[in-house]
């Protein structure tokens, strides 16, 4: 029997048990190599039906002040991958654009209570978190456009940098006491290093940086790393860059390979082995209010996010400072 990926039958299932797939054409061509890689990836992903639970809740901040690098796409698809393999996941949408809420099919029109009420008004997360209707085990703290004013409103509030942390810790503790421990929290940040992102970095323990495989990828990264170091020094000594994910990788271009090589040279083993390919299915999914896993579970985008998620569950938290990474 083919093993389900958690979202119904996957095209990948048809490859199972047939390692000697014949493609009917020259195996040395780039197309044949790509097809074979896709089959091998499908087999690996199908084999992992459950991911190991972490010893304690892991809180990831998905951040990069550069816009459009794949923060939201990474947040929702890694979250969906975890949930499809039996883990409990909470996504915190900390971007007034509300893109993560859209992709996870969560109501977030103006006035919908969500993260704004939690951090500005100090409301309990318990009444604000919503279950994702399409993905069991995944819940979401939505963001609406109301959050756009929060950067300014937070400035005059007491303990402005720690408000998300306090609300989140209280919520996680209540769930743990009720025997419903959350395994992973993923916080989707806006493309800036303002107070919202600072709140995320105080609440999180691990930073996941998506890096788009294009020419300007490394520009601004130094500033991001320095900001993380500052927060580590003054507000959250436990914060570490644990994971870097290469996104929108195009195997046909030398540029993508060059950027990937450069990033791996700088950040060594912090970079996941799996790179997310540029894929039309990934970009189409949000317009159907879906993740790529629910939209097309057998596509290369879905399989890559599943592999990346598995890698994350397998690497222990790496506490790396900027100095350690450069040495």
Binding site for ligand ATP (CB under 6 A): 67-73, 95, 99, 191, 247-248, 276, 278-279, 282-283, 286, 301
Instruction: Tell which residue, 7, 93, 22, 50, has the closest CA to residue 292.
Output: 7
Q: Which is nearer to ligand ATP, 247 or 256 (CB)?
A: 247
Beta bridge partners of 241: 207
CB of 282 to ligand ATP, least distance (A): 4
CB of 317 to ligand ATP, least distance (A): 23
Using CB under 5 A, pick the residue from 57, 64, 72, 242 that binds Mg ion: 72
How is 296-317 classified by DSSP, letter by letter? -TTSHHHHHHHHHHHHHHHSPP
Q: Which stretch binds Mg ion (CB under 5 A): 7-15, 68-76, 264-272, 308-316?
A: 68-76
CB of 297 to Mg ion, least distance (A): 23
Q: Which is nearer to ligand ATP, 153 or 284 (CB)?
A: 284
Alpha carbons 309 and 210: distance in angstroms, whole number: 13
- Name the token pair of 306: 């599943």
CB of 28 to ligand ATP, least distance (A): 27
Sign of the CA dihedral 246, 247, 252, 254? negative
**Does 85 participate in binding Mg ion (rule CB under 5 A)?**
no
Residue 297 near residue 85 (C-beta atoms within 8 A): no
- For residue 300, the partner it binds in Mg ion, ligand ATP, none, with Cβ less than 5 to 8 A by kind, is none
Q: Which is nearer to ligand ATP, 51 or 249 (CB)?
A: 249
Residue 213 near residue 240 (C-beta atoms within 8 A): no
Q: Please give the residue ranges that form the binding site for Mg ion (CB under 5 A).
A: 71-72, 99
């Amino acid at each position: 029997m083919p093993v389900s990926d958690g979202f119904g039958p996957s095209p990948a299932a048809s490859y199972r048990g047939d390692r000697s797939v014949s493609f009917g054409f020259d195996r040395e061509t780039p197309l044949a190599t790509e097809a074979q890689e896709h089959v091998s990836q499908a087999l690996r992903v199908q084999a992992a039906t459950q991911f190991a639970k972490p010893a304690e809740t892991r809180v990831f901040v998905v951040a990069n002040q550069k816009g459009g690098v794949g923060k939201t796409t990474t947040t929702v698809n890694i979250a969906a991958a975890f949930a499809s393999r039996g883990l409990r996941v909470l996504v915190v949408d900390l971007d007034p654009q509300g893109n993560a809420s859209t992709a996870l099919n969560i109501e977030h029109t103006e006035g919908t209570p969500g993260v704004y009420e939690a951090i500005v008004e100090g409301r309990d997360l318990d009444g604000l978190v919503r279950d994702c209707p399409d993905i069991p085990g995944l819940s979401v703290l939505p963001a609406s456009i109301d959050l756009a004013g929060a950067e300014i409103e937070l400035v005059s509030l007491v303990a402005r940098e720690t408000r998300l942390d306090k609300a989140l810790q209280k919520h996680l503790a209540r769930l743990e006491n009720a025997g419903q421990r959350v395994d992973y929290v993923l916080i989707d940040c806006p493309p800036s290093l303002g107070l919202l992102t600072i709140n995320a970095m105080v609440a999180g323990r691990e930073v996941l940086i998506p890096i788009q495989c294009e020419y300007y990828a490394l520009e601004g990264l130094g500033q991001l790393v320095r900001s993380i170091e500052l927060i580590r020094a003054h507000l959250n000594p436990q914060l570490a860059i644990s994971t870097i994910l290469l996104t929108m990788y195009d195997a046909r271009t030398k540029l993508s390979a060059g950027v990937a090589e450069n990033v791996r040279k700088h950040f060594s083993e912090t970079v996941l082995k799996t790179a997310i390919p540029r894929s039309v299915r990934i970009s189409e999914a949000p317009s159907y209010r879906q993740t790529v896993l629910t939209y097309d579970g057998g596509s290369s985008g879905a399989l890559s996010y599943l592999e990346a998620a598995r890698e994350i569950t397998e690497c222990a938290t790496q506490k790396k400072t900027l100095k350690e990474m450069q040495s």
